[in-house]
Structure 1
Amino acid sequence: METITNIPVAIPKDGSLTKSMIKNIVSIFLTNEWPNVDPETLVVTHNTGYANTNCVVERPKPNDDTHLEPLKVFLKIHGELDGEIEVFKHLVPNKHEEAQLCYDYAQSGPGAKVYGFFQTQDGSFGRVDEFLDARTLEAADVEHADIRADVAREHAVFHTLATQRKKKPVQLYYGAVTRELARYHKMDKLKKLANEGGVNMDHLVDYDFVSRIRRVTDRLESIGGKKGWCIHDVQFMNMMVKNNPKQGEGKIVLIDFEFVFQNYRAFDIGGHFLQKMFRWFDEENKIANCRPYTVEEKRHFCEEYAKKWNDQTGDSDTGEQVYMESELGVMLAITFEIHNMLCFMDQDDDKDPLNILGLNKLFEEFINQYKKLGLAN
């Protein structure tokens, strides 16, 4: 297990870090050249997300342009609520386990190297990682066969990841999510919030997701659906496209492992197909202005996935098998998104019409997929 280094730094309550603090943290893990850097010469690019602080830290090039340690690193401070939804707390990794997953993924080849994992005096956890020269995946990217194949292979690599983390039965998740969806079923508060936001979603709130989820998982079991380490949060922002990959190296790197636990591999694959249609952090529209994955593109993805899965496991799965699973996985991924959005809606009294329109789009996709696969019969 990757060890935690205790460091003599306390994170201010507002989450801000001085350049001296940042330099001192990085220097604990990169001990040759970084300790000699003048902190005032550092260029720090901050990115504060939900309950966590990320920053890219860059030091000047040496005068002779020779260096053994990296000039850029990625620093992450985990917030108290980072990645946590209370009902899944017994499933998601703690911060130490998440760091270990990052380390194990990097050891498998594609992931960013973890230089060190630390805990500060005030109890905050953080990591210093390799900086990836990469951008986030865009919807248009997966319309190119080479990038789509790389995305498929990386999912297979992660799903079969060798890690010390204990595997928990997938039914622990489905027990938790169905209990919560049953609680939200016909909840007047949710209907009222949506109507106050100017969008009606009564049909979604009144819909019985619980029995449908059970039917989907029963079908997956009947066709021998395989399980693995699923990421669950497979939005396109959590996939990076390398700008200058080395020869023979894939273009795609997966990031953000706050929700990793065992599930049907179909969940992530179907979820990836679904997420092409959404831009959850867009301030103007949560529904992407692009075409969905075509059947041909999905089948190509599943063929590439199956090849890599078989390389990793010694199995002899076909692309058709993976495709059949993924068609069911779409609905599992939809109910995960719907649960999480209803949870925040209930907790935070959220009535943002863009979020509610996104919810209705998810519901529409679920209804259409359920009908297409003949599960209503």
Structure 2
Amino acid sequence: MVTVENTINKKEDRLPREAREILQSLAIKWGDEIDSSALQMIPLKGAMTNEVFQIKWPTKTEDVSRKVLVRIYGEGVDVFFNREDEIKTFEFMSKHGQGPRLLGRFSSGRIEEFIHARTLSAVDLRDSEISSLIAVKMKEFHDLNIPGSKNVCLWNRLRNWLTAAKKCSLPEEAKAFHLDSMEEEISILEKDLLGDRQSIGFCHNDLQYGNIMLDEETRSITIIDYEYASYNPIAFDIANHFCEMTADYHTDTPHVLDYIKYPGLEERKRFVQIYLSASGHQPNDAEVEQLVQDVEKYTLASHLVWGLWGIISEHVNDIDFDYIEYARQRFEQYWSRKPDLLGQEKVTRV
């Protein structure tokens, strides 16, 4: 953590002039800063699509400083989502007390309110109390009535990302990841997972620990970063969250996944039980068991989504992350788990 003085100049250069002007305007408006231009810029680790910085100014009040968050959008990531839709979701969530306020926008990013809560760590996801809070918050999130289309996004997203992955991947990558047969895999999954029993809700679709914040005093959870949010089967969102328990993006090898950390059956049942009970309805054993089974099948969709994301990101993003190796691990899990989850004969993939 370094300040703007000399050593931070290279980092500050990453801030567009329009962003610096908005920041200075905010500082002047608050009026208690010692120097509105003497900002401190602290890079926050763990983001794999954008660059995120905490910005703060020293104030006249001792031991107090103003803080905001600056998000600089990654290059080429518009292939993954519609930025205007994401901003509309962000503003809706903000107005309904679900996330940080939007303080300013510039052409390549935005400035957000800094939430005075801590971002969760990888180990927090396995803490039973925190996991319970996440389950309750996820149910609240899924029940939000977001303006716009209520259509399921998952299958179109998979096909669109497959098209993008084929266009940008090298021939050896396309062969290694069996991209030519991936359309068939998506259709198999869609046919198997679609059914009348599916519960659809507004899903975050990227509920990793870095997108969850905890207020230690109130024990309240805030879910942030809605770039991939859309209506989807709620089982997919829960499945994706379980898959994220295998990741730790704050190590020397942030791309490496450890599937030994995937939650066991009893832990998954407990999460689902709390989730289903959050709205006051007491689920029976059959309801819990059914959702647990659905969630497990949707882990396959999660592996395909983020496997394709990894391939595309390797070619459009310059963040220091081994996207291709990450993609390989996700596809490896897909092929190894598919026979058990879909009841099909196991096929060995190189």
Task: State the TM bucket, normalised to the shorter chain.
Answer: 0.7 to 0.9
* Gaps in structure 2 of 5+ consecutive residues: 1-11, 346-350
**Displacement after TM superposition at 1:58 (Å):** 4.1
| Offset from partner CA, 1:49-88 (integer Å, 9 cap, x none) | 655453232442536x9xxxx9433232443737422xx4
| Offset from partner CA, 1:2-52 (integer Å, 9 cap, x none) | xxxxxxxxxx97425699746533248xx4x43665325654434486554
Relative to the length of structure 2, the TM-score reads 0.76
- Residues 1:105 and 1:191: Cα distance change in structure 2 (over 3 Å): closer
In the alignment, residue 229 of structure 1 is paired with which amino acid?
A: F
Matched, 1:102 2:100: no
CA distance in structure 1 between the partners assigned to 2:38 and 2:161 by the alignment: 49
In the alignment, residue 149 of structure 1 is paired with which amino acid?
A: S
Residue matched to 2:42: 45
CA distance in structure 2 between the partners assigned to 1:25 and 1:349 by the alignment: 31
Residue matched to 2:203: 230
Relative to the length of structure 1, the TM-score reads 0.71
- Residues 1:135 and 1:125: Cα distance change in structure 2 (over 3 Å): closer
In the alignment, residue 210 of structure 1 is paired with which amino acid?
A: E
Matched, 1:368 2:346: no
* Gaps in structure 1 of 5+ consecutive residues: 1-11, 193-201
- Residues 1:162 and 1:174: Cα distance change in structure 2 (over 3 Å): same
- Residues 1:19 and 1:34: Cα distance change in structure 2 (over 3 Å): farther
In the alignment, residue 233 of structure 1 is paired with which amino acid?
A: D
Residue matched to 1:60: 59
**Displacement after TM superposition at 1:207 (Å):** 7.6
- Conserved 8 A contact 1:52-1:82: no
| Offset from partner CA, 1:84-134 (integer Å, 9 cap, x none) | 22xx4xxx3424x4344334334555533x053434xxx445233133330
- Residues 1:133 and 1:338: Cα distance change in structure 2 (over 3 Å): same
Which secondary structure state, in structure 2, belongs to the residue aligned with residue 208 of structure 1? helix
CA distance in structure 2 between the partners assigned to 1:221 and 1:270 by the alignment: 15
Matched, 1:245 2:214: no
- Conserved 8 A contact 1:228-1:264: yes
- Conserved 8 A contact 1:266-1:326: yes
CA distance in structure 1 between the partners assigned to 2:15 and 2:302 by the alignment: 33
- Residues 1:125 and 1:374: Cα distance change in structure 2 (over 3 Å): closer
Which secondary structure state, in structure 2, belongs to the residue aligned with residue 373 of structure 1? helix
**Displacement after TM superposition at 1:343 (Å):** 2.0
CA distance in structure 2 between the partners assigned to 1:177 and 1:315 by the alignment: 38
Which secondary structure state, in structure 2, belongs to the residue aligned with residue 39 of structure 1? coil
Give the aligned length. 328
Match runs of 1:320-335 below 5 Å: 320-335=289-304
- Conserved 8 A contact 1:54-1:76: yes
- Conserved 8 A contact 2:203-2:234: yes
- Residues 1:19 and 1:176: Cα distance change in structure 2 (over 3 Å): closer
CA RMSD across the alignment: 3.9
CA distance in structure 1 between the partners assigned to 2:204 and 2:272 by the alignment: 17
| Offset from partner CA, 1:113-167 (integer Å, 9 cap, x none) | x053434xxx4452331333303331x2232211111122222222222332443
Residue matched to 1:296: 266
More displaced 10-residue stretch of structure 1: 71-80 or 154-163: 71-80
- Conserved 8 A contact 1:305-1:319: no
Matched, 1:211 2:184: yes
- Residues 1:34 and 1:227: Cα distance change in structure 2 (over 3 Å): farther
Residue matched to 2:78: 84
**Displacement after TM superposition at 1:315 (Å):** 11
**Displacement after TM superposition at 1:270 (Å):** 0.8
Determine what percentage of the aligned residue pairs are the same residue.
Answer: 16
**Displacement after TM superposition at 1:273 (Å):** 1.0
Residue matched to 1:157: 140
Which secondary structure state, in structure 1, belongs to the residue aligned with residue 67 of structure 2? strand
Which secondary structure state, in structure 2, belongs to the residue aligned with residue 84 of structure 1? helix
